[in-house]
Amino acid sequence: MNYKKLGNSDLNVSTICLGTMTWGQQNSQEEGFEQMDYALDQGVNFFDTAELYAIPPKKNTYGKTEEIIGNWFKNKKNRSKVILATKISGPGLSWIRGGGNQYDKKNLNEAINNSLKRLKTDYIDLYQLHWPERKTNYFGKLGYEHEEKENSWNDFESILNVLNEIIKAGKIRYIGLSNETAWGLSKFLDISSSKNLPRIMSVQNPYNLLNRTYEIGLAEISIREKSGLLAYSPLASGILSGKYRNGALPDGSRMKLFGDRFPRYKTRNAINAVEEYYKIAKENDLNFAQMSLKFCELQNFITSIIIGATTMEQLKSDIKSVNVNLKKDVINKINEIQKIYTNPCP
């Protein structure tokens, strides 16, 4: 396994992070336990979850994933071996504290206390804001439209002040963002510096061969400010494993179960790009999914890539990607395809 520093903290996290969002929906507790056992044995010391999970978000599965992880900690008595990340949900979901703005003192404290109970721990290593409260672009939205008279949202300084109190209480160690923009990250970092408040250690945004938009703006901030990317969807919801090629729709797959949630991956350019990347993998005797993951891991603005698997076969293959030798000519070929099919799935 490979490791990197989480921001400028003293934590060394594995460059493979175990994603958990399918546990409690596509995966049972028993399967979640098996995945955690195996990942930890392979040197994966970084797990990511969220109060919102399991996915797709539903009232009856809210908090289920955290509960599974908490039961595993209780069963294995190994909390200290895991660097644990979770998230407070943003606004918009009525069954989570009424659905309004979430990043005020009352909601932040309620959210962290409930996550701690479900996770059966007394601290979170990395606590993240799942998506912005303000109106901006995330989850693949394009065409930013600014509103001068936008709805109210908790300002960055007030959020950092509350999180600082929670850190001082010993409930969280470090903080991060998710689905954030370059402007948002830079504002948080500026206020942290000028007001001597907690720094943002990471940003959890999508990054994969079909969506390299993080390289525009955010990558520079991540490197210069030591606030690295935790790349989610590194296989573009399984598209970059090749299992959906030629119109295939395997039983039990996310696309078959929840395909209407992923319209961004159904464009003609995405299909064409996948075929070209697949050819590169085959020509160089590489496993397609492993090649796709290793390309992400090699980026110097990335701290860790978050893998999510519904089978042990997938998990084992994905973790082995750390051992892949991606030669310079392969990377050059990948970059040539990116020029032809530029970010077909932003």
Instruction: Provide the annotated active-site residues.
Output: 53
Q: Quickly tell me which residue has 């901006």 as its tokens.
A: 136
Tokens coding 112: 């962290």
Is 31:71 a contact under the CB 8 Å cutoff? no
Whether omega before 54 lies within 30 degrees of 0, making that bond cis, reads yes
Is 43:14 a contact under the CB 8 Å cutoff? yes
Residue 74: Cβ within 10 Å count: 12
Q: CA separation (Å) from 188 to 158, 159, 199?
A: 11, 9, 8
Q: State the amino acid at position 225 in one-letter form.
A: E
The alpha carbon of residue 47 and the mean position of all alpha carbons in its chain are separated, in whole angstroms, by 10
SS3 302: strand
Tokens coding 340: 């032809």
H helices present in the chain, as ranges:
29-41, 64-76, 105-119, 156-168, 182-195, 218-224, 254-258, 268-283, 288-297, 312-319, 328-340
Could you give the count of Cα atoms lying within 13 Å of 127 in the half-sphere of its Cβ?
26
Backbone dihedral region of 146: left (phi > 0), alpha (psi from -120 to 50 degrees) or beta?
beta
